[in-house]
């Protein structure tokens, strides 16, 4: 993706998340100098497999697994400091040196224990099927202008005053919700004191670092979490996450201007999955759904929850291509389809008896659509060893060609297994 005119690339999920962005970022990070996370919190779990070791990264950009790559957590992220330091410690235990390679935006908001208590007590979170890690309440505080940011730790006395107000407010809400637990001011105060000396040395103006890096001719990857259909504006509202997962969010959440974004790679599975509640038009029927889930290992990286599985939905990907301005596609998990005899692909919808080729704004309407399927012949052969398009069975190539035509975005990468080397780079990419 990087070339003379392309120094900054955004990697976004173009479905409902878990598309394998972690693996793509890991592969692309080899050629990058900086990797920036721009939104989300510790609810996103990227899984990267290197050799026999599996890393699940929630807060730290997966670029950290490449020596020499500098990783930044942008202002658009809500930072769960305990998870963050837990991850740093785990990386250290596995011999990965992160010193001088990880920085956090001083403008990022903190996810604190009271956010998690509020999340756990909220009926809404349960109805939406959130991960319950305090992300939603932390974003609510951000937009309600009562958040606590990394920079606030620089003046602990002020931070403590903020905290008193926030903890009292959280406890009033918890009482109203009928929750048994209460947030402890003492515990929160002690947490901030413990955090400050470790977090502040990493705190910086991330936007400025990215800006300077681009001016110096460095290569920057901007890494999204979740997927486009979970974007708070463009997703299947209200079954969405609390941030802008789409490429526009990359500029805002990293602290750079949109003109600094040169390319946008959309990651899609060769089929579709979704975690949590909300419409999924191409959800497969039994036993295909279980088969996709087992073959694809479709269980949440953070929660272990089984993912709902279905067929490739071209309406979703075309929509994601438009709202993100995708310049390339990475199709992952092609190998998961290796044993299927016939593979349906959704080419459009019928809504209330009429053809509908655009994404409806209402979740209810999306819940009512009937997918229009094409049925493709399976290739019934393993693809995991393919390293060039020419190594793939003809039926697999035809399948990819069709996904490309329907999505109206060129396929630049095809992933055929969990390992770093199991990737096909399409020439011109
Ligand atoms: P992310 O958040 O988008 O990075 O997605 P996850 O990490 O939650 O889910 C992707 C899962 O699919 C991980 O377990 C990856 O190891 C795995 N994966 C990624 N690419 C491929 C692929 O091409 N084939 C197979 N079989 N698994 C893959």
Q: What is the pLDDT along the chain (429 residues), one digit of tens a residue?
A: 888 889 999 999 999 999 999 889 889 999 999 999 999 998 766 777 777 777 778 899 988 989 999 999 999 999 999 999 999 998 998 889 999 999 999 999 999 999 999 999 987 767 776 777 899 999 999 999 999 999 999 999 999 999 999 999 999 999 999 999 999 999 999 999 999 999 999 999 999 999 999 999 999 999 999 999 999 999 999 999 999 999 999 999 999 999 999 999 999 999 999 988 899 999 999 999 999 999 999 998 767 889 999 999 999 999 999 999 999 999 999 999 999 999 999 999 999 999 998 999 999 999 999 999 999 999 999 999 999 999 999 999 999 999 999 999 999 999 999 998 999 999 864
CA of 54 to the centre of ligand 1 (A): 11
Bridge-based pairing of strands 328-332 and 263-269 is parallel
The string over 129-150, giving b where at least 16 C-beta atoms fall within 10 Å of a residue's C-beta and e elsewhere, is ebbbbbbbbbbebbeeeebbbb
Tokens describing residue 384 = 């995991």
CA of 262 to the centre of ligand 1 (A): 25
* Phi, psi torsion values for 227, nearest 5 degrees: -135, 170
Q: What is the pLDDT of residue 57?
A: 84
Residues whose CB falls within 8 Å of the CB of residue 370, separated by 6 or more in sequence, listed in order: 281, 349, 350, 351
302: left (phi over 0), alpha (psi -120 to 50) or beta: alpha
Q: 333: Cβ below 6 Å to ligand 1? A: yes
Q: Are 230 and 240 in contact (CB under 8 A)?
A: yes
Residue appearing with tokens 């919808």: 349
Q: 332: Cβ below 6 Å to ligand 1? A: yes
| Number of Cα atoms under 13 Å in the Cβ half of residue 22 | 25
Among 26, 33, 46, 66, which one carries the catalytic annotation?
Answer: 46
40: left (phi over 0), alpha (psi -120 to 50) or beta: left
Is 188 one of the annotated active-site residues of the chain?
no
Tokens describing residue 358 = 């655009």
CA of 44 to the centre of ligand 1 (A): 13
- Cis? peptide before 287, omega within 30° of 0: yes
Q: 18: Cβ below 6 Å to ligand 1? A: yes
Helix (H, G, I), strand (E, B) or coil at 245: coil
Tokens describing residue 119 = 């999340």
The residues that bridge with 77 in the sheet, in sequence order, are: 40
* Phi, psi torsion values for 217, nearest 5 degrees: 80, 20
Helix, strand, coil percentages in the chain from 3-state DSSP, rounded to 5: 40, 25, 40
Is 18 one of the annotated active-site residues of the chain?
yes
Helix (H, G, I), strand (E, B) or coil at 215: helix
Q: 382: Cβ below 6 Å to ligand 1? A: no
Q: What is the pLDDT of residue 429?
A: 44
First to last CA, the chain: 5
Return the ligand 1 atom nearest residue 54 CA. Answer: 16
CA of 50 to the centre of ligand 1 (A): 12
Helix (H, G, I), strand (E, B) or coil at 257: coil
- pTM of the model as a whole: 0.94
Q: Ligand 1 atom 5: the closest Cα is on which residue? A: 18
CA of 190 to the centre of ligand 1 (A): 38
Q: What is the pLDDT of residue 139?
A: 97
Q: 302: Cβ below 6 Å to ligand 1? A: no
Q: Choose one of 44, 223, 418, 425 to mutate for the ligand 1 pocket test, by most ligand atoms within 8 angstroms of C-beta.
A: 418
Q: How far is CA 45 from CA 61, 83, 87, 224, in A?
A: 10, 12, 12, 11
Return the ligand 1 atom nearest residue 423 CA. Answer: 23
Residue among 40, 43, 49 at smallest CA distance from 20: 49
Residues whose CB falls within 8 Å of the CB of residue 326, separated by 6 or more in sequence, listed in order: 12, 14, 247, 264, 265, 266, 320, 409
Q: Are 242 and 130 in contact (CB under 8 A)?
A: no
């Amino acid at each position: 993706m990087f070339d003379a005119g392309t120094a900054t690339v955004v990697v976004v999920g173009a479905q409902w998340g878990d598309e394998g962005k972690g693996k793509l970022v890991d592969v692309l990070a080899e050629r990058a100098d900086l990797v920036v996370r721009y939104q989300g919190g510790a609810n996103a779990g990227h899984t990267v497999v290197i050799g026999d070791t599996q890393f699940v990264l929630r807060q730290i950009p997966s670029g950290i697994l490449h020596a020499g790559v500098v990783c930044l957590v942008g202002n658009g992220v809500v930072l769960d400091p305990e998870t963050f330091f837990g991850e740093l410690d785990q990386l250290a235990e596995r011999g990965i040196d992160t010193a001088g390679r990880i920085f956090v935006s001083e403008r990022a908001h903190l996810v604190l224990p009271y956010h998690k208590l509020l999340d756990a007590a909220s009926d809404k979170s349960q109805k939406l099927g959130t991960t319950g890690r305090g992300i939603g309440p932390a974003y609510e505080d951000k937009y309600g202008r009562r958040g606590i940011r990394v920079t606030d730790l620089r003046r602990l006395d002020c931070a403590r005053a903020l905290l008193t107000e926030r903890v009292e407010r959280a406890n009033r809400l918890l009482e109203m919700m009928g929750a048994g637990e209460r947030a402890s001011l003492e515990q929160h105060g002690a947490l901030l004191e413990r955090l400050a000396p470790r977090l502040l040395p990493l705190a910086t103006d991330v936007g400025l670092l990215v800006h300077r890096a681009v001016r110096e001719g460095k290569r920057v990857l901007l890494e999204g979490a979740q997927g486009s259909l979970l974007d708070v504006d463009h997703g299947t509202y209200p079954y969405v996450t609390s941030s802008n997962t789409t490429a526009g969010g990359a500029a805002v959440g990293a602290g750079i201007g949109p003109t600094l974004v040169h390319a946008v790679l959309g990651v899609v599975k060769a089929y579709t999955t979704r975690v949590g509640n909300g419409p999924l038009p191409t959800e497969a029927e039994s036993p295909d759904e279980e088969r996709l889930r087992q073959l694809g290992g479709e269980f949440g990286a953070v929660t272990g929850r089984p993912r709902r599985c279905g067929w490739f939905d071209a309406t979703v990907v075309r929509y994601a291509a438009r709202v993100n301005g995708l310049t390339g596609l990475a199709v992952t998990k092609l190998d998961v389809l290796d044993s299927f005899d016939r593979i349906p692909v959704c080419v459009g919808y019928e809504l209330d008896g009429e053809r509908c080729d655009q994404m409806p704004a209402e979740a209810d309407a999306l819940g009512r659509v009937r997918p229009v399927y094409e049925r493709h012949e399976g290739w019934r052969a393993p693809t995991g060893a393919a390293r060039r398009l020419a190594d793939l069975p003809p039926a697999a190539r035809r399948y990819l060609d069709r996904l490309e035509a329907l999505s109206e975005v060129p396929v630049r990468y095809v992933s055929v297994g969990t390992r770093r080397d199991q990737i096909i780079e399409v020439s011109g990419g």
